[in-house]
Amino acid sequence: MATNDQMNSSSHPEDLLEAFALNALELDEEELVQDHLDACDRCSVVVSEYLRVAAVFGEAVPQLEPSSGLRGQLMQAVSRAEPKAEQAPQPQVVPSVGRGLADSRLVRMLMPMAASVAVILVVLALAMNVRIPARLTTWSRRTQTCAPAWTPASPR
C-alpha cells in the first residue's frame, strides 16, 4: 500500500516504479502510479526502461520445451489433488472460572431483588431525614413555650 512518503502530489513514486513495471503492485497502488505516469514524462520513461530490461531478462535464459509427458503428469497430479475446503472457524468455548457465587442461579435471581430493596431503603432514609428535622423543630418550640412556666427552685 502506498504511503505518504511513497506517493504525494509533489513527489515521484520512484520506489514503486519497478514494482509497477513487473505488475507487482496492489490495485490501489497501481492506480496511483498510473495516474502519476499519465502526467509525468520522466517517470514514464523510467517505467519504459524497466519494462525493456524485464523483457531482456525473459529472453536471456534459453527457452526449453517441456517433455511430452510433463503436461499429462501435471494434469493428472492436479486432478488427484483435492482442493482443501475452507472450514468455518470453530466457536471457542470460554472456560468458566468455576461454580462461583456469580454463577449461581439463585444469586442471579436475588440480585435484582437486592437492588430493589436497596433503592427502597435509600428512599426511606431520605424521607426519614426530612421528617426527623421537622419533629426536632416542633419539640424545640414546645420546650421553649414550656420553659418560662417552669423555673428551678432557688437555693436556700
CA distances from 131 to 91, 141, 144, 156 (A): 59, 16, 20, 44
Task: Give, in degrees to the nearest 5, the angle at Cα 109 between 108 and 111.
Answer: 70
d(CA 115, CA 106): 14
52-100: per-residue pLDDT in tens? 988 888 788 888 887 878 888 888 888 776 666 677 777 777 665 555 5
Continuous H helices in 40-104: 41-60, 68-80
d(CA 151, CA 14): 108
- DSSP class of residue 38 equals H
pLDDT of residue 5 exceeding 70, the answer is: no
pLDDT for the residue 1: 42
Which position has the higher pLDDT, 16 or 59?
16
Supply the pLDDT for residue 125: 84
Q: What is the pLDDT of residue 9?
A: 45
Question: Has residue 120 got a pLDDT over 50?
Answer: yes
Residue 148: what pLDDT? 57
Q: Does 14 have pLDDT greater than 70?
A: yes
- What letter would DSSP give residue 1? -
Q: What is the DSSP letter of 36?
A: H
Q: Quote the pTM value.
A: 0.38
Give me the chain's average pLDDT, please.
Answer: 78
Q: Are 27 and 2 in contact (CB under 8 A)?
A: no
Residue-level pLDDT at 128? 76
Helix pair angle (14-21, 27-39), 10° resolution: 110
Predicted pLDDT of residue 132: 74
Q: Provide CB contacts within 8 A for 113, sequence distance 6+.
A: none
pLDDT digits (tens, 9 = 90+) for 23-55: 999 999 999 999 999 999 999 999 999 999 888
